[in-house]
Amino acid sequence: MFTIRIMDSITESAAHPVDMSKYTCHKCGRGGIRLWREYMRFVVELRCYVCVQSKESAEKVARYLKGETDQIGWWIPAVPMDEKMDSYWGYTAAPRSGVDFWKRLPNDPY
Ligand SMILES: [Zn+2]
C-alpha cells in the first residue's frame, strides 16, 4: 500500500482536491493507481491497467508499456475534472496539473 506522504504528494499535484477513495477501478475495485476510461463513452467506466490490458491486443498494450502512448487501445487516461470525481477531462483538454496527477500514479499495484 501507499504511504501517507506519497498520497499527499499525488493529491497536491492536482489543481483541486482529489477523493482517492472514489478513484477506483469499476471492475475489480483496485485504487491508488492509474485509471483509464473508454474514449467517447457518455457513461464513465473506470478501469485499471490489469483490467484494460486483458481486453486489448498485446500490440496495443506493448505500445503503452514502451511509453509511446498513454492510451491503451480505445482506453484513455481518466483525469478527474473536479472533486466530485464523476466527470473527467477530454483526452487533449486535460490541464497540466491533471496530467501530472495521472502520471505520478503507479501503473498497477504489483
Ligand atoms: Zn481493475
pLDDT in tens, 10-67: 665 566 677 888 899 999 999 999 999 998 887 889 999 999 999 899 999 999 999 9
Cβ atoms < 10 Å from Cβ of 36: 27
Across 3-12, 57-66, 79-88, 93-102, least confident range: 3-12
pLDDT of residue 6: 47
d(CA 18, CA 93): 18
Centre of ligand 1 from the C-alpha of residue 92, in Å:
24
User: For ligand 1, a single-atom ion, which residues have Cβ within 5 Å?
Assistant: 25, 27-28, 48, 51
Per-domain residue ranges of the chain: 18-102
Centre of ligand 1 from the C-alpha of residue 58, in Å:
17
Give the residue, 84 or 88, on which the prediction is more confident. Answer: 88
For residue 31, the number of C-alpha atoms closer than 13 Å in the C-beta half-sphere is 9
Three-point CA angle 45, 75, 63, nearest 5°: 150
pLDDT of residue 87: 85
Please check whether residue 27 is in contact with residue 19, taking contact to mean a CB–CB distance below 8 angstroms. no
